Amino acid sequence: MDHNKKTAASKSDRHSPRCYAQLMFPKNESQADLLKVAERLADKFATSAAEHDREGSFPTENFEEMKAAGYLAAAIPEEYGGSGHGLTDIVLAQLALAKGDGSTALSVGMHLMTTGTEASSLSWPDEIRDRIFSDVVDNGALVNNIAAEPEMGSPRSGGRPATILRPDQPGHWKLNGRKTFSTLSPILTYFITYCSIEDGDSDVGRVVVHRDRSGIAIEETWNSIGMRATGSHDVVFTEVPIEDNDIINRRSLDQNRDAMSVGGAWFPLLVAAANLGVSEAARDYAVSFVRERDPGGRGRLATIPYVREHIGKIDAQLIAARNLLLTTAEDWEEQPEWRSQLEPHVATAKMLATNTAIEVVETAMRLVGGVALQRNLPLERYFRDVRGGLVNPPIDARALEQIAHAALDGAKPDSITPRIK
């Protein structure tokens, strides 16, 4: 899709005075249209975010709204009836959506990541891609990769999954195992499941499992400190019937480790967008608070030099993190031939966004004071929500190793020039 074919109307139309770091985005009507949808949805979702957080309940109604708005099909190519939005458009929209409800942004981001990655890579068998993409467009189906397990953790560790796919009869298999951190599990349509294939070759692979198959159980185990409304429960498979045409891929464990060492951009950048968007909401709350707060009639907090300095630091941090996130997405999308060199930039963008989010919310809480601790106000929820980005891959240790590898282990150090043209 040509993301430069349309020009956004005007700078004043592209951003409100609060959106301090959006001078360059949106750059075209495609981005502007999706951004407007995300902003409208965010305003609505913000009204129920605290309740879902408090109860740990899943916001099913938000997904009905996103389905009606076409947001669930945003990354589906136009030839399938979707909107055909690329990575940059989605990252920009997710930043806005997370300002309303971080849990909803993070969870729908897993669906958008899965569909967007496949739209870009075309790595699934054609029949599976046609089946899932059509279902997303026609019925609002939701899809996510579920791979983590209680003992193995993330598959990026290189471990062999305990979830087993074994032959049953010619053309038919049975799936058994347990998956953790299965975001969207309350309403997920397709579970793309990482498993060990036990037919004599010791391969690992991925199979697509429709929710209507027998033997699938959701155990409501998700009770986290933050992002409480993502529905990231355990999924248990017991003798689930699988057919040959449900197998997406299979390869040796060594081949899979090699494949996993080559990171994509959709997952880390959408995780980063969800967390950074939450911190932007915290920034807006703090700015409004200090502009209006006049304790004892002695002058607004916004006139105090300490407060002004820290608001300046917050905005400087967010400008840097936001712009790196969006330009990295743009480079990844527009320069596919340079993606191996861009992988350290992706890791940096994710790491900077998630750590910036934590620092910004903590600073906002210091400026607001005791009010920030109140459960009926949003800052303490923002404080909890942004912690989640630290444990989403790549975690900081692996991100730094990836960055160091590019500098230290090749025949010559890769360039750190951020924009490749």
Strands (E), 92-223: 143-146, 164-169, 172-182, 190-197, 203-210, 216-219
Helix (H, G, I), strand (E, B) or coil at 233: strand
Q: Answer left, alpha or beta for residue 230, where phi above 0 means left and psi between -120 and 50 means alpha.
A: alpha
What are the angstrom distances between the C-alpha of 28 and each of 10, 364, 368, 389? 10, 32, 37, 29
Q: What is the pLDDT along the chain (421 residues), one digit of tens a residue?
A: 333 333 333 333 333 344 444 568 999 999 999 999 999 999 999 999 999 999 999 999 999 999 999 999 999 999 999 999 999 999 999 999 999 999 999 999 999 999 999 999 999 999 999 999 999 999 999 999 999 999 887 776 677 899 999 999 999 999 999 999 999 999 999 999 999 999 988 899 999 999 999 999 999 999 999 999 999 999 999 999 999 999 999 998 888 776 665 569 999 999 999 999 999 999 999 999 999 998 888 889 999 999 999 999 999 999 999 999 999 999 999 999 999 899 999 999 999 999 999 999 999 999 999 999 999 999 999 999 999 999 998 999 999 999 999 889 876 666 666 565 5
Supply the pLDDT for residue 153: 72
**Among candidates 90, 122, 133, which has minimal Cα distance to 108?**
90
Distances (CA, A) of 136 to 39, 71, 91: 22, 10, 20
For the chain, list the domains and their CATH numbers: 11-141 (1.10.540.10), 146-253 (2.40.110.10), 259-408 (1.20.140.10)
Please state, in angstroms and rounded to a whole number, the distance separating the CA atoms of residues 24 and 322. 11
Task: Write down the pTM of the prediction.
Answer: 0.91
pLDDT of res. 8: 37
pLDDT at 18: 46
- At residue 419, the pLDDT reads 60
Give the pairing type, strands 164-169 and 190-197.
Answer: parallel
